[in-house]
């Protein structure tokens, strides 16, 4: 069972640390949390681990931080200790955070960690994923070609990196939508720019 006081305190903290806009903002946290809640209930996960991990998974993401996953894990451990969470709960929550990232080399070792990883990847797919990719390109002063490359180098590969069956089912539709979008984008660019 989840502790409502603990979750409320974590949401307050996330609201302070996460930006309102951009590709990794408080809205991203809310969507990942919602998918974690959905998948967690469906798969019988320990929500007292999963939901705090969802709220905290990106709190260390700042421009000056090289490894946001490690920074998020470090900050999360401090916050959970301050809230009086037991040592085992902290360890499991931090482990889920440490293994959620696309770019990381650690594999999730628990159902809760797999769900967090899946939820984070699902938020990079479909219509929301396209919105976030555009925001990312804008934040980092990239071109439309960089935007397209981001799909080919990362976003279209995410389906194969998901751990849970329900997440893969959700991802199929999102991936199909991204492929249709890229086809439309390619058609428009060919027409106006004469691309081949």
- Rounded to whole angstroms, how far apart are CA atoms 123 and 27? 10
DSSP state of 25: S
- The tokens of 68 are what? 């946001």
Phi, psi at 175, each rounded to 5°: -65, -45
Q: CA nearest 48: which of 111, 117, 118? A: 111
Give me the pLDDT at residue 22, please: 77
> CA angle at residue 109 from 42 to 68, to 5 degrees?
100
Any residues with CB less than 8 A from the CB of 152 and at least 6 apart, and which?
Answer: none
- The tokens of 1 are what? 């069972």
Side-chain half-sphere exposure of 30, counting CA atoms within 13 A: 10
Give me the pLDDT at residue 93, please: 97
Q: Classify residue 46 by burial, with Cβ atoms within 10 Å: 0-12, 13-18, 19+.
A: middle
Give me the pLDDT at residue 102, please: 65
Domains detected in the chain: 4-193 (1.10.3210.50)
Give me the pLDDT at residue 192, please: 87
Give me the pLDDT at residue 1, please: 44
Q: Report the chain (196 residues): mean pLDDT per 10 consecutive residues.
A: 82 88 88 98 98 94 71 92 94 94 79 97 97 92 94 96 98 98 95 75
**Distance separating the N- and C-terminal Cα atoms of the chain:** 56
- The tokens of 71 are what? 């920074």
Specify the residue for token string 């996330």.
14
Give me the pLDDT at residue 105, please: 72
- Rounded to whole angstroms, how far apart are CA atoms 72 and 133? 22
What is the pTM (predicted TM-score) of this model? 0.92
Side-chain half-sphere exposure of 175, counting CA atoms within 13 A: 17
């Amino acid at each position: 069972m989840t502790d409502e006081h603990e979750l409320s305190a974590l949401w307050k903290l996330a609201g302070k640390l996460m930006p309102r806009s951009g590709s990794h903002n408080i809205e991203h946290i809310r969507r990942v949390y919602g998918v974690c809640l959905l998948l967690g209930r469906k798969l019988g996960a320990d929500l007292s681990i999963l939901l705090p991990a969802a709220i905290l998974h990106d709190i260390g993401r700042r421009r000056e931080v090289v490894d946001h996953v490690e920074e998020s894990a470090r900050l999360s451990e401090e916050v959970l200790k301050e809230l009086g969470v037991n040592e085992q709960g902290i360890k499991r929550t931090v482990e889920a955070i440490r293994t959620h990232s696309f770019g990381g080399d650690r594999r999730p070792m628990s159902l809760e960690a797999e769900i967090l990883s899946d939820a984070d990847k699902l938020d990079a797919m479909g219509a929301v994923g396209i919105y976030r990719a555009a925001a990312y390109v804008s934040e980092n002063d990239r071109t439309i070609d960089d935007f397209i490359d981001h799909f080919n180098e990362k976003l279209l590969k995410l389906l194969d990196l998901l751990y849970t069956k329900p997440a893969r089912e959700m991802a199929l539709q999102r991936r199909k939508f991204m492929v249709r979008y890229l086809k439309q984008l390619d058609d428009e660019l060919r027409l106006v720019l004469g691309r081949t």
